[in-house]
Amino acid sequence: MFLSVFDMFKVGVGPSSSHTMGPMVAAARFLDALRAAPFHCAGVRATLHGSLAFTGVGHATDRATVLGLAGFRPETYDAAAAQIALDQIRDTHRLHPQGLPELHFDPVHDLKFDFGPNLPGHANGMILMGTDAQGDVILQETYYSVGGGFVLTEAELAQGKDTDTGAPVPYPFKSANEMMSMAKASGLSIAQMKRANELSRGTVESVDAGLARIWQVMNDCIDRGLTNDGILPGGLKVKRRARAIHDALLAERGLNQSAPHTINDWMSAYAMAVNEENAAGGQVVTAPTNGAAGVVPATIRYWLDHVPSASKSRVPDFLLTAAAIGGLVKYNASISGAEAGCQAEVGSAAAMAAAGFCAVMGGTPEQIENAAEIALEHHLGMTCDPVKGLVQVPCIERNGLGAIKAISAASLALRGDGVHLVPLDACIETMRQTGADMSERYKETSLGGLAVNVPNC
């Protein structure tokens, strides 16, 4: 099994990897299908199903779908250009994607929210259709946004997990147990094995440059979030807090009066800065999702700014280790809140961050596996119940607590020798089973939990 670090960490746009980035990617893929078709379509239509329907407006799914059909992609998203395009589409009912004839599309009538049963493949389903001049469907494809910006067609989903057709990788571990066995046999760290896998598909220069860009985008996102303030969009009137918290922490720094637990506020400020930017539709990195995008960068920033032994040169090792753990979770369970609740998002992110932090603190592979397990275990059962379908409450604070748990988990693991009772593989399987048993009301539908017990207007 090979899942690239650049698949786990993708540069994109908020507020949601599954509900914003995924539909945009699906729409872009549908344009490619239209370009390859032996006939010309005159228009397009779309229907959103399951969680994409129930929380689509709060997650900007409708907006993302329209922009995707207009030719926008998450990795090159330009907010100003997007708004101009949306205004033109609303006024003219026309799309002008590159390499295709003009397409009729009226966002009011041609984009439907279907609140009936989920499509069979996944809770995040959408159907895109190409129509002829009479409005009859002549091309149709079903897409599933399976979390973290990953998108599969109905046929691809049916093929199952092992669809990688690239060059063989030297360490194709599919489980934590296999990963540990390969590390022991090779004498390599988890980061070294992951790097070797990446180099089997790319060059040293491309891997190093890609990792550097991931951290740069993450760090820039923290800095923007610590600078910006105001009210987040969406109607909940949630006030940004990261800047004020950070300013207060800076003011207190030289007074020598802060209690030791204040370090938790630094971690939370870094994480909340990212997720406030995400909630505002800014540029973020999936880690492994947008809703959980603050945990990994906050943990790295804490390490760099507050741990004396930290070195920026080790950030790639952090990211590679974290990606290895994230890949195991995605392959064997889920990183989708709509599929398994927030345990699959912030829980997975905390496991990834704990593993990365443990690695750069000198942890052995056994300690790293233990750190990831501790972090994930103590997120088991966590629901995804965003108020008003927005990635704000409880999502923003939840990332701060996820970072704190990640660092605590790594610290506990580093105090031991790596021997522990619950294997990471068992914890991942428990998360999968828990997600399967969880009521749909608590899986990103905003039909239960805080979403219905907190006034959302």
Q: Are residues 149 and 244 in the same domain?
A: no
Cβ 240 vs Cβ 228: under 8 Å? yes
Q: Are residues 150 and 239 in the same domain?
A: no
Tens of pLDDT along 133-145? 999 999 999 999 9
Q: Which of 417, 427, 356, 257 is nearest to 5 (CA)?
A: 356
Is 250 a member of any domain? Answer: yes
Q: Cα dist. 436→256, 289, 415, 439, 440 in Å? A: 49, 19, 34, 8, 9
CA angle in degrees (0–180, nearest 5) for 252-258-264:
95
Which letter, b or e, does each residue of 253-265 get, where b requires 16 or more Cβ atoms within 10 Å of its Cβ?
eeeeeeeeeeebb
Q: Are residues 316 and 432 in the same domain?
A: yes
Cα–Cα distance, 375 to 457 (Å, whole number): 34
* Average pLDDT estimate for 169-185: 98
- φ/ψ region of 135 (left if φ > 0, alpha if ψ in -120 to 50, else beta) reads left
Q: CATH no. for residue 304?
A: 1.10.4100
* Average pLDDT estimate for 383-402: 97
Q: Are residues 224 and 362 in the same domain?
A: yes
Q: Are residues 228 and 339 in the same domain?
A: yes
* Average pLDDT estimate for 320-337: 98
Q: Kindly tell me if the per-residue pLDDT of 260 is higher than 80.
A: yes
Q: Give CA 69 to chain center in angstroms.
A: 22
pLDDT of 447: 96
Q: Which of 133, 159, 185 is the last residue of a domain?
A: 159
Q: Are residues 259 and 140 in the same domain?
A: no
Cα–Cα distance, 65 to 302 (Å, whole number): 36
pLDDT of 161: 75
Task: Quote the tokens at residue 41.
Answer: 């379509």
Amino acid 390 reads: L
pLDDT of 192: 98
Q: How far apart are the first and last CA of the chain?
A: 46
Is 321 a member of any domain? Answer: yes
Q: Give CA 57 to chain center in angstroms.
A: 18
Q: Are residues 407 and 447 in the same domain?
A: yes
Q: CB 177: neighbour CB atoms within 10 A?
A: 15
Q: Kindly tell me if the per-residue pLDDT of 457 is higher than 70.
A: no
Cα–Cα distance, 405 to 237 (Å, whole number): 28
Q: Are residues 252 and 128 in the same domain?
A: no
Cβ 75 vs Cβ 10: under 8 Å? yes
Is 165 a member of any domain? Answer: no
Domain span including residue 68: 5-159
Q: Are residues 321 and 434 in the same domain?
A: yes
pLDDT of 257: 77
Q: Which of 131, 159, 187 is the last residue of a domain?
A: 159
What is the band of 256 on the pLDDT scale with cuts at 50, 70, 90? confident
Q: Are residues 190 and 239 in the same domain?
A: yes
Is 393 a member of any domain? Answer: yes
The H-or-E segment that residue 147 falls in is strand 137-147
Q: Kindly tell me if the per-residue pLDDT of 209 is higher than 90.
A: yes
What is the band of 25 on the pLDDT scale with cuts at 50, 70, 90? very high
Is 167 a member of any domain? Answer: no
What total number of domains does the chain contain? 2
Cα–Cα distance, 397 to 118 (Å, whole number): 29
Is 169 a member of any domain? Answer: no
Q: Which of 106, 131, 159 is the last residue of a domain?
A: 159
Cα–Cα distance, 391 to 14 (Å, whole number): 9
* Average pLDDT estimate for 186-193: 98
pLDDT of 215: 98
Label each residue of 292-331 as H, E or C: CCCHHHHHHHHHHHHCCCCCHHHHHHHHHHHHHHHHHHHH
Tens of pLDDT along 91-147? 999 999 999 999 999 999 999 999 999 999 999 999 999 999 999 999 999 999 999
What is the band of 4 on the pLDDT scale with cuts at 50, 70, 90? very high
Cα–Cα distance, 112 to 49 (Å, whole number): 9
Q: CATH no. for residue 73?
A: 3.30.1330.90
Q: Are residues 29 and 138 in the same domain?
A: yes
Q: Are residues 154 and 188 in the same domain?
A: no
Is 368 a member of any domain? Answer: yes
Predicted TM-score (pTM) of the model is 0.95
- The helix/strand count (H/E) of the chain reads as 20, 9
Is 128 a member of any domain? Answer: yes
Output the average pLDDT for the chain. 96
